[in-house]
Amino acid sequence: MADTTAALMLDAAKVRESDATLRPPGRRHPRVRARIAAVALPLLPVAAFLLLWQQLTAHQVVAWLRFNRMPTPGSVYDALVARVSSGGYYDDLLASLQRILLGFGLAAVAGVALGMLVGRSRTARMTLRPFIEVFRPIPAIALVPLTILLFPSSEQGIVFITFFAAFFPVVVSTIHAMDALPQVWEDAARTMGARRLSILLHVVLPGALPGIFSGLSVAMGVAWICVVSAEMISGQYGIGYYTWQCYGLLDYAGVVVGMVSIGALGLLTAWLVERVGRRVNNWLPRSAR
pLDDT tens per residue across span 97-129: 999 999 999 999 999 999 999 988 899 999 999
**pLDDT of 27:** 52
Sequence spans of domains, the chain? 75-276
Q: Would you tell me which CATH number, out of the four given (1.10.3720.10, 3.40.50.300, 3.30.360.10, 2.40.50.700), belongs to the domain 75-276?
A: 1.10.3720.10
Distance, in Å, from the CA atom of 151 to the CA atom of 143, rounded to the nearest integer, reads 12
Look at residue 179 and tell me whether its pLDDT is greater than 50. yes
Residue 65: strand, helix, or coil: coil
pLDDT at 258: 92
| Spatial separation of the C-alpha atoms in residues 203 and 206, rounded to whole Å | 6
User: Rounded CA gap, 112 and 173, in Å?
Assistant: 9
* pLDDT reported for residue 26: 47
Instruction: Check residues 107 and 36 and name the one with the higher pLDDT.
Output: 107
Q: pLDDT digits over 58-92, tens only?
A: 888 888 888 888 899 999 999 999 988 887 889 99
Output Rg (C-alpha) for the chain, integer angstroms: 27
What local confidence, expressed as pLDDT, does residue 205 receive?
86
pLDDT digits (tens, 9 = 90+) for 210-239: 899 999 999 999 999 999 888 888 778 889
Residue 5 has pLDDT above 60, yes or no: no
Cα dist from 252 to 102, 134, 174, whole Å: 30, 39, 41
pTM given for the model? 0.80
